[in-house]
Amino acid sequence: MTVRSVGSVDGPELCLEYPDDLAEDERDELLQRMTQMFSLERNLQDFYETVSVSKEWAGLIQRLYGVRPIQDADLFESMVRTIIGQQLNLSFAATLMERLVQLGDERVVWKQQTLPVFPSAKTVAEWTYPRLRELAFSQRKAEYVIDFARHVASGAIDLEKLRDLPDEDVYEVLMPLRGVGRWTVECFLLFGMGRTDILPAADIGIQNAVQRLYHMADRPKEADIRQIASVWAPWRSYATYYLWQSLLRDEN
């Protein structure tokens, strides 16, 4: 499908172009997923009013006004992306993701273009660790990615059923898996499921962004972040996204 923005910052609208032969229930699901993926069901003004109790947010809101978190299109891809990104810089993590897609060698044709598709859990589950090692994955990273794919492919983990669970239950299901820690699940809840009140307070990027935003002499610790962020509820995911964006945009 093709997605175009036809609205405004204050009134976002998307124009979707998809195959004519989609069944009605497929179209309904598609509309629902796109609404969630682009966070169109959320009122940003509620978020702005919540964080504006801290005067330090005024400048950041002005810079990023209208920016909405975009969710990953697929839960399996979201978790693999997060596992790959653990303790890596963004550039190298993106390179590994690209190599993973190339290895999967799955394609879809849309408007006379052949587009790469993220490999399925079944495809990744059939790979060996040395195969990913050849692509510059570390041994542990290769194990974490492939083992997670095998859990999903075997049905031991049903990612779609996780959508109906509260946050803490998602932690209980995923954190026992090798290579999946609290930060991993937090990012999965934020970017995969679109939960609105997630705070990865142990994230170094968040700590650096808060230090800069609040003009702090030292980088705050996890406990400090949680205390500062208590007034951001129930929009801590959005605050997290804006803080990350503040670092990315400063780098650019």
Over residues 25-77, the pLDDT tens digits come to 999 999 999 999 999 889 999 999 999 999 999 999 999 999 999 999 899 99
Over residues 224-251, the pLDDT tens digits come to 999 999 999 999 999 999 999 999 866 5
Over residues 24-39, the pLDDT tens digits come to 999 999 999 999 999 9
Q: What is the predicted pLDDT for the residue at 110? A: 87
pTM for the model stands at: 0.91
Instruction: Of 116, 83, 86, give the one whose Cα is nearest residue 102.
Output: 116
**pLDDT interval class at 162 (50, 70, 90):** very high
Over residues 143-156, the pLDDT tens digits come to 999 999 999 999 99
CA-only gyration radius of the chain, Å: 19
Q: Which residues are catalytic?
A: 203
Backbone angles phi, psi at 5, to 5 degrees: -90, 125
Percentage of the chain modeled with pLDDT above 70: 98
**pLDDT interval class at 12 (50, 70, 90):** confident
Q: What is the predicted pLDDT for the residue at 250? A: 60
Residues 46, 52, 56, 62, Cα dihedral to 10°: 50
Going from the C-alpha of 168 to that of each of 10, 86, 173, 197, 199, the distances in angstroms are 33, 21, 9, 12, 13
Instruction: Of 190, 206, 200, give the one whose Cα is nearest residue 72.
Output: 190
Backbone angles phi, psi at 117, to 5 degrees: -120, 140
Tokens representing 246?
Answer: 């503040």
pLDDT at 159 over 60: yes
Mean pLDDT computed over 107-132: 94
